[in-house]
Amino acid sequence: MHFNTKDRASGYSASNSAGAAGEDTTDAVLKPITPQLVRTERELREKQVTQDISKLLGKSAPYTIDSGDVLSIVVWDHPELSNAATVATGGPVGVGADASTSATTAPPAGFIVDHEGMIQFPYAGPLKVAGLTQDQARNMLASKLSKYLKQPKVTLRVQSYRSKRVYVDGEVKNPGLQAMNDIPMTLVEALNRAGGVLPTGDQSQVVVNRSGVNYQINLPQLVQRGINPGSIMLTNGDVVRVRSRDESKVFVSGEVVSPRALPMYNGRLTLNEALGESGGINPLSGDGSQIYVVRKSGTDQVVYQLDGRSPGALAMAEGFELAPKDVVYVAATPLANWHRAISLILPGALSSAVGAAQPAR
């Protein structure tokens, strides 16, 4: 494959043949890494338009009863009206996947809200409680009972939260179902209930799927912009997925001590860090003046070049942030290329020549 680079400023074009003749040629723009370029790239990142997540932001609201919830109802001084609702279920219900599992496997005690959002209560008859808060449902029941009882005192609460749930998947400690209860289900709350993000998780790649639409959430970026991640409110049926750092890798190859694929740290990795984690430029064969970063931009490719021998090169490398799937390549010196070419043409010729040139002991 032929790889052509062209410097926009000077019009200079260079071709590096890496395969047989007749293959496709890929053109790429060559941009020298300079302090001005580093500043421009940083400004573009800061001005970059991110996905609108305003639909996810909101304020916490009281929990509303829905189909599947189990209510505990007590009418004071009238135990005959609330016998079933006072039977204990053997522990706290409605928090996390375990609670949801126990609620679906054991027969719940209390008044179950049916598929139409109704409950049946003595004297009050069928009551539609779906969509009401606990206080609203209690007041409605007390109003119904006041026709038969004098100033009835009613206690109504949700005993088992079974109607609303979200799903947390990916790089969290305890992936699975999270039942929504009277504590507002924010994105931070859901992640904490799942045991938190694992070290292998990328906090800049959190996806919230709502009604078939994926919202990309960059938690460190939100905090940097002054947006509290706790203001992202989840609703019933949302799916939260924390992607792995392995999905956003940078590849370092060429004349470095340890070529490797490096994961990014919460969406961030500089050129200096990538070279450092690869052991640096190989002192025997690496050409510090030819450090390249190959980046795909749409259908085109952009090649950034850093001259590591120039003053301030380390500062520019530290300020130049890489993007996922970038390829960092360090070219070999002309002497190393000549040595390899001779070794391919005449295997062992150089070592034999060196041995013949050394005086016999």
Question: Is a pLDDT exceeding 50 seen at residue 358?
Answer: yes
Q: Which residues contact 16 (CB under 8 A, 6 or more apart)?
A: 2, 3, 4, 5
Q: Which domains does the chain have, with CATH numbers?
A: 2-48+247-345 (3.10.560.10), 54-60+164-246 (3.10.560.10), 70-160 (3.30.1950.10)
Question: Is a pLDDT exceeding 70 seen at residue 25?
Answer: no
The DSSP H or E segment spanning 354 is helix 349-357
Between 27 and 7, name the one with better pLDDT: 27
Q: What is the mean pLDDT of residues 240-256?
A: 92
Q: Which residues contact 238 (CB under 8 A, 6 or more apart)?
A: 166, 167, 208, 209, 210
pLDDT band at 177 (very low <50, low <70, confident <90, very high): very high
Q: What is the mean pLDDT of residues 322-336?
A: 91
Given the structure tokens 């209930």, which residue do they identify?
193
Widest distance between CA atoms in the chain? 120
Per DSSP (E only), the strands in the chain are 2-7, 13-17, 25-32, 70-75, 111-112, 118-121, 125-128, 154-160, 165-170, 176-179, 201-210, 213-217, 239-244, 249-254, 260-263, 286-297, 300-306, 327-332
- Strand 2-7 to 111-112 pairing: unpaired
pLDDT band at 50 (very low <50, low <70, confident <90, very high): low
Given the structure tokens 């004098």, which residue do they identify?
150
Averaged pLDDT score across all residues of the chain:
82
Q: What is the mean pLDDT of residues 309-324?
A: 89
Q: What is the pLDDT of residue 312?
A: 86
Handedness of CA 233, 239, 245, 251 (dihedral sign): negative
**Coil, strand, or helix at residue 229?**
helix
Q: What is the pLDDT of residue 297?
A: 76
- In which order are the strands placed within the sheet that holds 239-244? 176-179, 165-170, 239-244, 201-210, 213-217
Give me Rg for the CA atoms of the chain.
Answer: 33
Would you say 108 and 159 are in contact if contact means Cβ atoms under 8 Å apart? yes
Q: Which of 48-52, 170-174, 232-236 has the lowest mean pLDDT?
A: 48-52
Alpha-carbon separation of residue 203 from 100, 151, 181, 269 (angstroms): 27, 54, 25, 14
Q: What is the mean pLDDT of residues 188-206?
A: 93
Between 360 and 133, name the one with better pLDDT: 133
